[in-house]
Structure formats: C-alpha cells, structure tokens
Structure 1
Amino acid sequence: MTMWNNLLPKVHFHPILLLFLLISFFTGTFMQLAILLFIVFFHELGHYIMALQFKWRIKKIMLWVFGGVMDTEEHGTRPVREEVLVICAGPFQHIVLYVIALVAVDTGVISSSIFDTFMYYNTTIFIFNLLPVLPLDGGKLLQLLMSTKWPYKMAYYRSIYFSLIACLFLLGTSLVVQPFTLSTFLLCLFLLFENKNEWKKRYYVFTRFLLKRFETRHNPIGRTRSIRVKAEKSLLEVFSHFYRGWSHNIHIIYPNGSIKLMNEYDCLYWYFEAKRYKDTVGDLGDLTNNTK
C-alpha cells in the first residue's frame, strides 16, 4: 500500500469543478465534461510521471474544469533542462491522445460523434495550455526562458507581470470582442486569481530558490558569474542579482575604492545560518575576510 501511495498522485477537485459537475447533470452535458476531465487528468499525468523520474516532491494534482495544476515544491530549484522536460511532458500527452482516439474510432471502440468531441477538446486544451500565461505550461516555459536571460528574481517577477497583463487582455477580449460566455469569463477569472496568488507568495518562492542553493553548497555549479555591488547594499539586494544555473563571486566596492571578494556561499551563510539580515554586504565582507 505504501508503494502505491508514493506512486499514485493525490487528486483534488477545485470547487468550481464540483459546481460544473452539478450543472452537467441537469443540462445533459455530463459526457462532454467527462471527456474534458479525462483529457485534463491525462495531461497532468504526463507532468507527474516525468516529475517522478527526477524524484520531485509532489503534493497533489488539482483538477478544475479547464485544466489542472501539479502542486510541487521544485519549480525554480531544479536544472532548467529538468524543468523543461517536466513541463513539456504535459503537452506531449495530447499527441498520445490523438493516436489513441484515432485507433479507438477506427476499431469502433468509440463513435464518430464522441471522436469529434474528443478531438475538439483535446486540441482546445493543447493550444490553451501553450498560452504564455502562468500557471499554464506556456507561461512556465516563458518564465524559464526569461530566467536564462535575467537574474532569477527579475525573471520571476516579470513573468507574473506579463501573465497579469495577458489575463486582463483575455478578459477584455472576451467581454468586448467575442460573444460573452460564462466559461471564458470564469477561465479568465481563474487565471487572474492564480497569478494574484503567485504574486502574494513571491517572497516565499524567492527564499526557496535561495535556500535550495544554500542546501546544495556541497554540489557547486560549474559556471561562475561575477557580481559587482556597493558596500552599502543589503544581502537581499545582492541575491536579486543571482542567476539560476550559475554560482557567483561578489565583488564588494567600498567608498574608498577598495574591493573585497565574497563567494555566494558566504552571503547565503550570513543570511540563513548567522541570520545577519540587517547588515550591509560591506560589513559582512569585512567579517568574512577577517575570519579567514
């Protein structure tokens, strides 16, 4: 039983999904909703199976009527290649579903009407999930791309800004350009709500990124990048220059023009272990050099 508990995901249903299930019983659309949920779950299963291969910590899978979210602690703490594979595993499942559906209709397992409905929903969800909006797969891929060009904190914040603007654009388009539909309106509201939550936990996500680097100090990153900061800057201001996939040498510039060197681990040690939150990097640079 323990083995199965570790292998099978914990699946939760969003309250909105329960509302749609109730509506589908009274409107005669339960078959369409069942097809939609199957596609969504199969999509999330792709993320889940790939994440298991890399031993990710997975809390649960949350399903709602238009998609799902795999709740994990690993985003931003794993190599970019690893995260790309986990993200792309979801959209890849739709290609598998195309093949399954074609075989099923050719062998008479499903009718042509169910096949048409299945293909429509599969294509819609496939394209929708590639939109560059968090927490969709397209938004996560955009965030990863940004993190290869900018420091992690800047890339993370900008991806949320972009997602919020895109959500507002989609909401405005659904209200003004296209005929109003409740499903589109709820979809836009859901995406706005998710990005609002993402913004609220931005400090926690950034701290998790830093803590992971501190915990894996005995497995240093091969590439090194230099950072030049003024002595009066705080540790958090130094950390805002950290890139994922790089280790950092910090060159501290003092008012008299002298320069002292600290490595990334020293800064993280002073922050997480010594808890010197309010000290400037210049003061800690003096302490570091005096104790060595």
Structure 2
Amino acid sequence: MHPLFVLVMAASVLTGYFVELFTLFLIVIVHEAGHVLVARYFGWHIREVKLLPFGGVAEVEDAGSLPAGEDALVAIAGPLQNVWMGLAAWGFGQLGLWEPEWSAYVVQANMMIGLFNLLPIYPLDGGKLLQAGLSYSLNFFSVMRWTARISLVLSSLMISVSLLGLLRPGGGIQMNLLVIGTFLFMTNWTYNRSIPYLFIRFLMHRDQVVIRKMAQGVLASPIVVDGRQSAVYAVRLLWRERYHLFYVMERGSSIARVAPEQRVVDRYLLERNPNRPVIELLQ
C-alpha cells in the first residue's frame, strides 16, 4: 500500500467512514486485479502492485519492450472492472437487494475511480494509454518526454483547480484534489528526471523486441544518421514498435556502415563516452 492510501485509511477510520473506506478498498483491489489478470494472460512478469486511493500501479520488469497494444489492453482492463461493478451495484439497487443510497454510493465510487484513472496523466491508466498511442508515432525517447510533459501540465492544472476556491469569498481548498494533484506532479517530476535511466533499461531489453519482430516476419525500419552524430543521438531514434537497421552516412552522402540495431545498442551500452561519434562506435 502506498503511504497516501494509508493516510486516507487513517482519516476514514478517525472520521467514522470505515465501511465506505473498506468498500473503496475492495473496488481498488478488483480494479487492479483486472490489470494483473490481463498482464498475466500476456505472460508479463509483475514485480509489485502499489495500491493508491484512486487505483494502483503495477510495476513490470521489462516495461518499454512490451508491445504497445498489450500495454493498452492491460491499462484499460482496470477501468472496465469499474464498469461492471457499477452496473452490478445499480442492478442490486433496482432489484431492492441494496438500499438506494448505498447502491448510489457504490455506483458513484466506481464512476469516480474509473473515470479519474482515464485521465491522460502518467502513471494513471489514461497516461499509459497515452504512452501506448504515442509509441506508434514517435521514437520511444520522445514518447517518454512527451508523456512526462503532458502529465506535468495536467497535474499542475489539477493543483490549480484545487486552489480556485481561494478566489471566492468564503471558499476553500479542495484538499483531496490538491493532495492527488501534488502526488501526480511529483511522480512525473521524478519520472521526467529518470528518463535517461529508464531509457537505458529500454535498451537493455531491445533484444526481446528484435526476436519478436523477426518471428513475425516484420521488415526492419531504416534509421539514417550522419556518422559524425553522437552515439546517444543515434540510439534515441529507436521506436518501441519497430526494429531497425542503421545506415551511417559519410560526407558526400555515401553509406559508410550498415548495422543492425542490436550491434549499435550493444556497443553503446559498453561505451563510456555516449557522445562519441557513431561512426567510431562501429569501427
């Protein structure tokens, strides 16, 4: 459990909302179970699941090397659990099995958790859907950068909305929104700073992508680079959903080297100077 969830639990117990908290806890558990079951179906190795008041975060070993389509299906599996739970709660209320007020509470809780998680802010489910979608139009380093930027902007907007009440006479701060917005902002601030290290992890799992794409009979996509450009510039051109052949050009537009991406990646990972020209890296 994330410390934020523990704080919410403590506050709920102190204010006498234990039953509502326990219901929220069960909804979050089922929400995360949706992610885990679909991830296990695809054969993912899950390190841990962190429970948060608005959902959870499943951490996997080889994020970035997994197919974007699978990533999207795993992400949407959580909110889909909120759909059937909300419909079931509504049905129980209509049949008289639950009190109308309790049925309405469970429906509202599922709607809140499901819709909130679809916001395009990392690491919410919507943020992972955003990242999976960007993987089809940008190289992976840019995907991570844009995911962090969009998430920082939207979480900043969330914080601003939580403070709007201060502009009205007698208004106040929406504390829940402020806490969650601040948590998401700090998470993405850390994520943005960690992108160079996360990218190294992405490179270390590229062999899995190459094997998968070759088994599917997918043709290699060309990456054309000037031999004088740095090695770090070259590897940052890799796409998540493709594997590549590097065409290293000399002056006069002649091809000096043609190398599969794994050779470039392996040389780069062993290189002490990431700014070394790519043509020297392949000698």
Q: So what's the TM-score if we normalise by structure 2?
A: 0.89
* 1:141-290 pair list within 5 angstroms: 141-176=129-164, 179-215=172-208, 217-221=210-214, 222-260=218-256, 261-272=258-269, 277=274, 279-285=276-282, 287=283
C-alpha separation in 1, matches of 2:102 and 2:39: 31
Distance 1:126 1:171 in 2: 20
After superposition, residues 91-130 of structure 1 pair within 5 angstroms as 91-106=79-94, 108-130=96-118
- Asked if structure 1 preserves the Cα contact closer than 8 Å seen for 2:69 and 2:132, the reply is no
Contact 1:150 1:243 in 2 (8 A): yes
- Cα deviation for residue 109 of structure 1 reads 4.3
Give the aligned residue type for 2:93. V
Which range moved further: 148-157 or 105-114? 105-114
Q: Which runs of 5+ in 1 are unaligned?
A: 1-12, 288-292
Does 1:55 find its partner at 2:43? yes
The alignment covers a number of residue pairs equal to 274
1:84 CA displacement: 1.4
Distance 1:75 1:244 in 2: 10
Deviation at 1:256, TM superposition (A): 4.6
Q: Counterparts of 2:112 and 2:203 in 1: how far apart (Å)? A: 37
Q: CA RMSD in A?
A: 2.1
1:22 and 1:31 mapped to 2: Cα distance? 13
Higher mean C-alpha displacement, 28-37 vs 213-222:
213-222
Residue 83 of structure 2 contacts residue 111 of structure 2 at CA under 8 Å; is this kept in 1?
A: no
- Aligned partner of 2:168 in structure 1 is none
Q: Which residue of 1 aligns with 2:10?
A: 22
Tell me the secondary structure at the aligned position of residue 244 of structure 2: strand
Distance 1:181 1:42 in 2: 27
Given that 1:229 and 1:251 are in contact with CA atoms closer than 8 Å, whether structure 2 keeps it comes out as yes
For 1:201 and 1:84, locate their aligned partners in 2 and report how far apart those are by CA, in whole Å. Answer: 22
**Please, what TM-score do these two structures have when normalized by structure 1?**
0.86
Asked whether the 8 Å contact 1:147–1:156 carries over to 2, the reply is no
Provide structure 2 residue ranges, at least 5 long, that are not aligned to the other structure: 166-170
Report if aligned partners of 1:228, 1:251 keep a CA contact under 8 Å in 2: yes
Distance (whole Å) between structure 2 residues aligned to residue 24 and residue 217 of structure 1:
50
Distance change (3 Å), C-alpha of 1:258 and 1:188: same
Alpha-carbon separation, structure 1, partners of 2:14 and 2:209: 54
Q: 1:99 to 1:214 in 2, by over 3 A?
A: same
Q: Does the 8 Å CA contact 1:50/1:85 hold for their aligned counterparts?
A: yes
- Mapped to 1, the partners of 2:69 and 2:213 lie a distance apart of 17
